[in-house]
Chain A
Amino acid sequence: MFEFSVAYKYLIPRRRQLSVSIITIISTLVISVVVWLILVFFSVTTGLEKGWVEKLVALTAPIRLTPTEEYYQSYYYNVDSISDASDYSTKTIGEKLSAESTDPYDPGIDMEIPPYWRSPDTNASGTTKDLVKDTFSLLQSQGLTAGDYDHALAQMRLRLVRHSNEGMGSTTQTFLTQGCYLSSFDAKNHSVATITLEPTASDLANIFALLATSADAATEDMPSSDDSVSSETFHEKLDAFLENTTITHLKTPPEGWYIPPSMLKTPKLSAFALVDGDTMIKASLDEKSIPSAESPEDLIFNIEIDIKGVTLSGSTPYGELTIGAATTTKAFEDAPETPPPWIYTVEDATVIPSDDVFGEGVIVGKGFRDHGVLLGDRGYLSYHMVTAGSLQEQRVPMYVAGFYDPGIIPLGGKFVLADSSVTSLINATTRVNDNTFGNGINVWFDDVNTAATVKTSITKSLTEKGLAKYWNVETFREYEFTKDILEQLQSEKYLFSLLAIIIMIVACSNIISMLVLLVNDKKKEIGILQSMGASRWSVALIFGFCGIIIGIISSGIGTIAAIATMHNLPAIIDVLSAIQGHELLNSTFYGDTLPTTLSAGTLKFVIIATATTSLLAGVIPAIKASLLNPTKLLRSE
């Protein structure tokens, strides 16, 4: 296309058209910087938002169905309260799902149905519609994974038993109490494994150290820190721990550690017998020491220490040392006979362990870890049961089986995931007003970006089956605890998009100046081209192309720079953090890893915006050029 080839020729910098060349280079650089800035900013924010959304969805589900007032007023829901077969109490969604009968009412035994109740919603065959089972089968027929959930409110009290420096084997204990939202954990939620944090060496050391500590008094307010389990229980728990853990290194205590004299073969080395604190020592458990051990401190490890180039090897009791590094098993093909005390997976299902001695395993937010809580710490969940005469406190023993990263969702840190039996128990006991967010159906599917489409499809199917009035269908963007923050994020993106467009327009306005100069510079050539038959449209197109070419080249440079920046983002953030003196992006909010890929949506936006703005910037000079009179141009020469 001759217009394009002429435009390309015009843009090649030449000494003869120095001012145009300089402005062209400046325009290109400015637009490149703007493109780079927009791409990096949007890619980072989009990546972070995606991470936050993934974490949120991993904790809950991309879509949730909650019962409406219509559901709670329905005959289907209320009939259990007057039915002997249901022990005269209403059922949760989970209970309804596993109930044998849709309508347990027996006119022969049960009281008369109150006249103000709504009539049963029936199928074409005249039988009562099973609102829960019908909804589940409808969801499954769409290829969706569904599971009921319970939320309950409880008080969690954790007892943190730690070694003290006061003497061998002495411990201290502190307590941490926190109100929390208990959320039922569903094995079908595969995503939860993606947000759980790896057990650290300190976590393993804590579990290991507590193996001999009794949990009998776990639900007491001030239990003794020295109670021990029976030797039999200790060995049972030790075997389970060692079955899933291989200790490879031990770590010396912070105050330093004296090498056992038995390992000092040369008297000269006695001067170096004190090993610095927090030194890693290569170690392996001497299995012969297991049978006679009464506590972890008694276990013997074969160790190797490098001191001043000399390798010392020997054995030492665990004593004051702690686990420095270990490998753990978290994934199993079949259900393990001796499950680990942390969250694990069996094929696709995620399992929260429960321990007959230590209590129910729960997963808590990583904020707890930041406050000193370690895996294996024990305590209880407290809730109040209303009875006819009093308000009784009930306690369920539990221990920390995992930590999750909640992202920035406000309630994230206060969500405690527990087995559904625990949440059902607490929910059933404490339920005062049924119409809360405490019970519903989670719906999972692979691509959370399709949530809005899936919601539409579910709503349509529910409407067809006459079930729509019983359920509120919400995507994760509509949950009461996410709506505000996701809307805020969206608003910020819109605001920055607006700013980006303004910056882009300002940057591209350079193109106008450049093209006006270029048109003045090329007046004679415009006349010559017109004398050879170039139309006004062709002349306009030449200068329009000049604008677009600058836009495309600038986008290319900006995109390449943005890709390079994104690939090296962690290093760049480190440098900026070092310059600033504190963390540039706090990991509490932004997570431990930053996005490193360019957002495809942003790239599309930037390329279209740059091309359009450049084209528009080129229009005015192009029109000016096309309106020039060729005879005047040729005569002026």
Chain B
Amino acid sequence: MMTKKTVLHAENIHKTFRHPSKVSVLRGVDLTIQQGESIAIMGASGEGKTTLLNIIGTLEKPDKGSLTLLGKKASPAARKTTIGFVFQNYNLLEDYTTIENVLMPAKISRKTTTKNSPSYKRATSLLEMVGITNRANFNVKDLSGGERQRVAIARALCNNPDIILADEPSGNLDHENSKAIHAILLSCVKDHNKALIIVTHDIELATMCDKIYTLQDGKLMLRDPAS
């Protein structure tokens, strides 16, 4: 049996916010995720789920603890190649078209994005995968919520990252679209061997993941699948 490589290993992560008042949101979080594995993180609002995701995504620094990505100490540069973000509110670039949004990570990584370039071909195949090829040249302002989130997923996959961090990806979507988005994200794990961490309140989505964690009192606890 082939051993799967560890994509992320977080150990003893601490984070305290001091403004407006001192709040310790993470108090020694440990987390490991491997290739082809999906994890759901649940918890009440304000427990620090997004903060944990930001720390894992190198957008924020932990006060204490270590974080490694593919065996190396995590650095902001990892956002270019190793990490793909999917946000609840899509976070698309409003003045750009669908294809331009999808290609933006490639541009940031100084890849050629002209037509017929590998990045462009990948972007069109990703749009095909998420099912919005016909919206490639639409301005993203003209897309529906579900379509926008599909663009966001395609964009997150543009540079072929090893891990996808999704922060409530279906939070703003209706049930049908939620299901579709979940299916796309999970297919990335199974078909493309990515690691996936989803922060969600949606128990239905959570149960589709390999593991479910609950963040409570600053600690991450593995949840019993039966509960």
> How many angstroms from the CA of A534 to the CA of B105 in the assembled complex?
8
* B20 vs chain A, min Cβ distance (A): 14
Nearest Cβ on chain B to A11's Cβ, whole angstroms: 11
Pick the residue among B50, B51, B89 that contacts A637 (CB under 8 A): B89
Fill in one digit per residue for B40-72: 1 if any A CB lies within 8 Å of its CB, else 0.
000000000011001001011000000000000
Q: Does A116 contact B (CB under 8 A)?
A: no
Q: Are B95 and A529 in contact (CB under 8 A)?
A: no
Residues of B within 8 A of A634 (CB): 59, 87, 91
Residues A527 and B107 in contact, CB atoms below 8 Å apart = no
B8-21 vs A: 1/0 string, CB under 8 Å? 00000000000000
Alpha-carbon gap, A33 to B28, bound state (A) = 61
Q: Which residues of B contact A531 (CB under 8 A)?
A: 57, 59, 79, 85, 87, 91
Q: Is A533 in contact with B81, judged by CB distance below 8 angstroms?
A: yes
B91 interface neighbour in A14, A527, A535, A631, Cβ under 8 Å: A527
Residues of B close to A459: CB separation below 8 A:
none
In the complex, what residues of A have CB within 8 A of residue B54's CB?
Answer: 631
Interface string of A505-532 (1 = CB under 8 A from B): 0000000000000000000110111111
A21 to chain B, nearest CB (A): 13
> Nearest Cβ in chain A — how far from B117, in angstroms?
14
User: How many contacts between A and B, using CB within 8 angstroms?
Assistant: 58
How far is A525 from B51 in the complex, measured between Cα atoms in Å?
20
Q: Is A635 an interface residue (CB 8 A)?
A: yes
Known: A527-B91, A634-B91, A635-B50. A533 touches B59 (CB 8 A): no
Contact call A533/B79, Cβ cutoff below 8 A: yes
| Distance (whole angstroms) from the CB of A283 to the closest CB of chain B | 76
Contact assessment for A532 and B85 in the assembled complex, using a CB-CB cutoff below 8 Å: yes
Q: Mark B188-210, 1 if CB is under 8 A from A, else 0.
A: 00000000000000000000000
Q: Known contacts being A2-B110, A538-B108, A630-B59, is A532 close to B95, with CB within 8 Å?
A: no
Contact B108 A529 (CB under 8 A): yes
Smallest beta-carbon distance B18→chain A, Å? 14
Please measure, in the bound complex, the distance between the C-alpha atom of A532 and the C-alpha atom of B59, giving whole angstroms: 10
Q: Which of A524-565 contact B (CB under 8 A)?
A: 524-525, 527-535, 538
Q: Which residues of chain A are near B59, meaning CB under 8 Å?
A: 530-531, 630-631, 634
In chain B, positions 94-121 with a C-beta closer than 8 Å to chain A are 94-96, 104-105, 107-110
- Closest Cβ neighbor of A524 among chain B residues: B91
Min CB distance, A520 to chain B, in Å?
Answer: 15
Known: A2-B108, A631-B59. A533 touches B77 (CB 8 A): yes
Closest to B76 in A: A535
Closest to A529 in B: B108
Inter-chain CA distance A472–B223, complex, in Å, is 99
Shortest beta-carbon distance, B107 to chain A, in Å?
Answer: 4
Q: Which residues of A contact B107 (CB under 8 A)?
A: 2, 5
In the bound complex, residues from chain B placing their C-beta under 8 Å from that of A308 are none
A9 interface residue per 8 A CB criterion: yes
* B78 vs chain A, min Cβ distance (A): 8
Nearest-CB residue, chain B, relative to A534: B108
Contact for B105 among A533, A629, A635, CB less than 8 A: A533
Q: Does B155 contact A (CB under 8 A)?
A: yes
**B156 to A, closest residue via Cβ:** A532
Chain A residues, Cβ within 8 Å of B91: 524, 527-528, 531, 634, 637
Chain A neighbourhood of B89, CB < 8 A: 637
Residue of A nearest to B167 (CB): A634
Are A532 and B76 in contact (CB-based, < 8 A)? no
Q: How far is the CA of A634 from the CA of B168 in the complex (A)?
A: 14
* Cβ of B68 to closest chain A Cβ, rounded Å: 18
- A108→B80 CA distance, assembly (Å): 102
**Given A529-B108, A531-B79, 5 further pairs, Cβ under 8 A:** A2-B108, A9-B96, A530-B79, A533-B79, A630-B59
Q: Which 3 A-B pairs have the closest CB atoms?
A: A533-B80, A2-B107, A533-B79
